[in-house]
Structure 1
């Protein structure tokens, strides 16, 4: 028999009754039923119930066993009593009577329990991650991650892509985030960088004649952490193709992701047709460039209804250049209680509040005022049907702008009795983010968001440049390596109107994919950087390898990268990306388990020619 096991803890069933077996694993829990000991033994594959009573030659040793001890047992497979069968696990019909026991690794007092669903502080979970990872949910998440990566690889190979590995130690390259720098021992005073992405290398592969490349690539960025972003490193499905248009890239990645979400999405509906929404429209309709299309709410511009109106705040605001008023429709949200709750939400977000109108059945008070009769008479007329009730607009805004304007707003937004609308105004960039978050909250609270669906949309036509409001300087707003739509001719006009062949894929409110058709012509690249204030010498210095390569017959090419961690987070229905990463950093970019970052030794600093200057 094997030194440690003849079977895994998920293998045994009633057909093994009477067999002598050997199992190894961790003690999941111990139960003492009046001198009869039951142990749930757990390994990576499942759980088997063990049984031991005073008839066992190792009963006294089994009595000493505690949770999370690693043990090896020999025993005899027995059928459980019919009333004790556990149909929830594959081994639920049997138990193993312990004849022999070896403790492979005892465990001290546990800082967190593996058995059960107790919640522990994140600091404890990360410091003792090896225990945290033993928990069933974490085991399932990491198996899911592994299976997703394996499936992605197969799907890419099936589309004739080849996987290549690009360097991990390279040159610093400004790509939108801070680099992690690595000092060079052989070249004192100089530094390598960990790649933020294989961007330049995959483009160079296209110049090298490799038509289709992909890689499950580690990427390193010194970023501020968020719930959906690691502060140090992450993995992405990185791909690039030659002789392709933007649509070719979409047509390539779409079946891969649809297949992944269908395979691992737990039966949720997966959108088969993906909308293409311009960046401008995404900001207008959804207040975000990663819209959650499970929520059907679309925001609209309603400035004309407030211009020169009785609502002075919006009327005066609209006199300023570049301002507008946007409405967030809220079907079924037509109650003062809900409107007040959303107004409080806006105040928590740092705004003075959020204007609202809601539509309700016309009250007797309103009819009395309209007809110049008493409320009692109005009630009688409504009850008899002599007067039709109809609807009325309520709320402070409705009173200020009057019935004609409120009716025009209602008709534009397609709302009815029992619905509401919320309003924000100013320069769009100042309030779009809050409007987008308000839209999400409204969709969730009113039950409008379809939680049983993966909704995808391509966001396209990103502007390449933006203007600093204070300095007036033009700089890149998005990826500087994107080919401008219209090529060199587009760069001769207004920079703020130049759009790039750049695209993101949004799913359920998260950005899953980002990519572009690349700018592969040196003369267009130099002009694009010149507009942002970077001369040719600077471009050659920063991106010399790529610029030089493009002078030797570079093909048109493009690609994208899909975030593996974020994909798995969605499939696992987790809210925090750390739940699907084996050994993540905490919010302060610290590895509590390995004590990183750590202080270097004096010898290490001396060898690298470095000195640490104490912070004030």
Structure 2
């Protein structure tokens, strides 16, 4: 038996002077000053300094000489105040130390392949291979502790609102309408497969049909997506569904939950509700993105009217042909832009699909690639206060359906390159997304969110057979600092509407019945109006703790290629396992491997 701790390593203070205490933890640092050894002992609560003094206990001092970083120990000692010159205001326990009277080495450690007590620039692969060491770091422990707080606040808040936490199946039916499913072969039904859920979408709707009017779940979701930056094949979402609601009810509930999370996990009281609301069309026209970070401003300006009669012929001719001249101001940055930089940005704009880039730098001496031909128009922009000294204006001349997307990419580039990261939080709702979009690769209409979103019924009646891409949906996203944090919608609850949506998506009645017959059947027996939202737990926590990557708030994430360097997952399985599942592997050649990696 070892001596169990009486206190954690982060709780002792001057009120504990002269107490005999026992601490358990890891050795964080050792300072041997010759005759006296100072040891920092660490657990997830903090660090405390222990002193081994040869003049006080030589035998114990000799034992302490064997200590190394990351040894697991139990230290008994007497709490005393540190000398004034040795107090450390950066430590919670920095005013006290323990004069050790006993030491047990509970577990030794080899020299670790990564440092635990300092932040160092090491490869992601090494960090993930030794994740159990990486997770000992103060930063990582702080992140996961805050994640736990968010989960607890979520459960407490929603439970207080009358919501029930109900689990839905992990082994379910494959309905590949979005990303690829992760498939699980059935041993008992050879040739049949379960799928891991991409979301609990259909089950939570069935719970509404079942009469559970307020549901939530902290749900694990799985998507077999192609390699993309900062995506994980398994992720967590706060899943919420409610009956007899309109979207305003979902807004109010979500705002209350987000406000509670910010206040109770971060002690941040600066959120004002209700959050600002924009339609999808508004954010695209103003920022060129459906998830803009509006902290940086730079709203788009339609400059067409100012340049209709310009002597810059290419602009005038373009406007006469129906093109739009549109741009945005980068404020107080003109000194940052050289001619080479403008040339590089012009190439960037062309890569995004623009025919070129117009730029105006409002210095004491105006600089512009249209200065001679459009001097009059430039002066008007300054006179009317659209530009001021120090500003840079970027504009492009393009077709209406292309211009916002191109400017949006340029705006994002300016935010990344020209501005320091802003503090604070910008939270907005984006509503009324298109119900459908055109998939160029598959050459077909697809659902913008998912096929269970309620369309705008007036739009459905008007455009169903004419132009379904004009149909808006009753959907909404919550955007924080340029990240989509949550997505939801009012759902379809009528069989005829659901069948119309399937028809627009090109699903035959037979296909719809085979894939979603259980849902259509449920709608026959009285389905209430309902709606909901799913909040991305990983991204929300990463924003709260100020991390760029969601991997920093997940205990055991995968690499960008979906692998786990620690366990070597995914891995091959034995022939016996394959036989039990009635599976056989097909050998693929190098060209097939390359095609798979590109797909």
Q: Does 2:234 match 1:241? A: no
**In structure 2, distance between residues paired with 1:501 and 1:195:** 23
- Secondary structure of 1:254's counterpart equals helix
- Secondary structure of 1:560's counterpart equals strand
**In structure 2, distance between residues paired with 1:318 and 1:473:** 32
CA-CA distance at 1:599 after TM superposition:
0.4
CA-CA distance at 1:91 after TM superposition:
2.3
**In structure 1, distance between residues paired with 2:316 and 2:587:** 55
Q: Does 2:519 match 1:546? A: yes
Structure 1 residues 272, 30: CA separation in 2 closer, same or farther (over 3 Å shift)?
same
Q: Where do 4+ consecutive residues of structure 1 move more than 6 Å?
A: 469-472
Q: Does 2:445 match 1:442? A: no
List gaps (5 residues or longer) in structure 1: 364-392
CA-CA distance at 1:243 after TM superposition:
1.1
**In structure 2, distance between residues paired with 1:236 and 1:175:** 19
Please tell me whether the aligned partners of residues 255 and 274 of structure 2 are also in contact (alpha carbons under 8 angstroms): no
**In structure 1, distance between residues paired with 2:290 and 2:529:** 26
**In structure 1, distance between residues paired with 2:200 and 2:535:** 13
**In structure 2, distance between residues paired with 1:44 and 1:291:** 37
Please tell me whether the aligned partners of residues 357 and 395 of structure 2 are also in contact (alpha carbons under 8 angstroms): yes
Counterpart of 2:116?
A: 114
**In structure 2, distance between residues paired with 1:81 and 1:334:** 54
Structure 1 residues 411, 590: CA separation in 2 closer, same or farther (over 3 Å shift)?
farther
CA-CA distance at 1:360 after TM superposition:
4.2
Q: Does 2:270 match 1:297? A: no
- How many residues are aligned here? 582
List gaps (5 residues or longer) in structure 2: 590-599
Q: How is 1:549-560 mapped onto 2 (pairs within 5 angstroms)?
A: 549-560=522-533
Equivalent of residue 424 in structure 1, options 389, 396, 400: 396
Counterpart of 1:75?
A: 77
Counterpart of 1:326?
A: 326
- Secondary structure of 2:237's counterpart equals strand
**In structure 2, distance between residues paired with 1:153 and 1:315:** 60
- The structure with the larger Rg is 1
Structure 1 residues 17, 197: CA separation in 2 closer, same or farther (over 3 Å shift)?
same
- Secondary structure of 2:524's counterpart equals coil
CA-CA distance at 1:402 after TM superposition:
4.3
Please tell me whether the aligned partners of residues 231 and 560 of structure 2 are also in contact (alpha carbons under 8 angstroms): no
- Secondary structure of 2:502's counterpart equals helix
Q: Deviations over 1:345-379 (max 9, x none)?
A: 45357357632123344x6xxxxxxxxxxxxxxxx
Equivalent of residue 462 in structure 1, options 428, 433, 446: 433
Q: Does 2:563 match 1:563? A: no
Q: How is 1:342-361 mapped onto 2 (pairs within 5 angstroms)?
A: 343-345=343-345, 347-348=347-348, 350=351, 354-361=357-364
Q: Deviations over 1:135-188 (max 9, x none)?
A: 111110110110111111111112211111111110112342111111111111
Q: Does 2:155 match 1:183? A: no
Please tell me whether the aligned partners of residues 300 and 328 of structure 2 are also in contact (alpha carbons under 8 angstroms): yes
Please tell me whether the aligned partners of residues 271 and 454 of structure 1 are also in contact (alpha carbons under 8 angstroms): no
**In structure 2, distance between residues paired with 1:126 and 1:346:** 40
CA-CA distance at 1:103 after TM superposition:
1.5
Structure 1 residues 450, 63: CA separation in 2 closer, same or farther (over 3 Å shift)?
closer
**In structure 2, distance between residues paired with 1:471 and 1:576:** 31
Please tell me whether the aligned partners of residues 168 and 195 of structure 1 are also in contact (alpha carbons under 8 angstroms): yes
Please tell me whether the aligned partners of residues 295 and 440 of structure 1 are also in contact (alpha carbons under 8 angstroms): no
**In structure 1, distance between residues paired with 2:321 and 2:437:** 20
Please tell me whether the aligned partners of residues 227 and 575 of structure 1 are also in contact (alpha carbons under 8 angstroms): no
**In structure 1, distance between residues paired with 2:416 and 2:321:** 34
TM-score scaled by length of structure 2: 0.90
Please tell me whether the aligned partners of residues 269 and 452 of structure 1 are also in contact (alpha carbons under 8 angstroms): no
**In structure 2, distance between residues paired with 1:470 and 1:73:** 64
Structure 1 residues 3, 34: CA separation in 2 closer, same or farther (over 3 Å shift)?
closer
Structure 1 residues 264, 411: CA separation in 2 closer, same or farther (over 3 Å shift)?
farther
Equivalent of residue 456 in structure 2, options 485, 500, 503: 485
Q: Deviations over 1:532-584 (max 9, x none)?
A: 22122211111111111011111111111011111100010011111111110
- Structure 1 range deviating more: 6-15 or 126-135: 6-15
- Structure 1 range deviating more: 598-607 or 302-311: 302-311
Q: Does 2:265 match 1:260? A: no
Q: How is 1:507-546 mapped onto 2 (pairs within 5 angstroms)?
A: 507-546=480-519
Counterpart of 2:594?
A: none
Please tell me whether the aligned partners of residues 185 and 193 of structure 2 are also in contact (alpha carbons under 8 angstroms): yes
Structure 1 residues 338, 501: CA separation in 2 closer, same or farther (over 3 Å shift)?
farther
- Secondary structure of 2:525's counterpart equals coil
CA-CA distance at 1:588 after TM superposition:
1.0
Structure 1 residues 425, 615: CA separation in 2 closer, same or farther (over 3 Å shift)?
farther
**In structure 2, distance between residues paired with 1:185 and 1:412:** 74
**In structure 1, distance between residues paired with 2:363 and 2:316:** 26
**In structure 2, distance between residues paired with 1:522 and 1:476:** 17
Structure 1 residues 23, 519: CA separation in 2 closer, same or farther (over 3 Å shift)?
same
Structure 1 residues 597, 342: CA separation in 2 closer, same or farther (over 3 Å shift)?
farther
- Secondary structure of 2:142's counterpart equals helix
**In structure 1, distance between residues paired with 2:259 and 2:505:** 38
Counterpart of 2:547?
A: 574
Please tell me whether the aligned partners of residues 271 and 456 of structure 1 are also in contact (alpha carbons under 8 angstroms): no
**In structure 2, distance between residues paired with 1:315 and 1:336:** 30
CA-CA distance at 1:96 after TM superposition:
1.8
Q: Deviations over 1:413-464 (max 9, x none)?
A: 83233322101343466564452243244356665x8823211111111111
Please tell me whether the aligned partners of residues 301 and 327 of structure 2 are also in contact (alpha carbons under 8 angstroms): yes
CA-CA distance at 1:39 after TM superposition:
0.6
Please tell me whether the aligned partners of residues 326 and 403 of structure 2 are also in contact (alpha carbons under 8 angstroms): no
**In structure 1, distance between residues paired with 2:96 and 2:171:** 54
CA-CA distance at 1:18 after TM superposition:
3.0
**In structure 1, distance between residues paired with 2:319 and 2:587:** 52
Counterpart of 2:595?
A: none
**In structure 2, distance between residues paired with 1:610 and 1:182:** 12
Please tell me whether the aligned partners of residues 227 and 576 of structure 1 are also in contact (alpha carbons under 8 angstroms): no
Structure 1 residues 90, 496: CA separation in 2 closer, same or farther (over 3 Å shift)?
closer
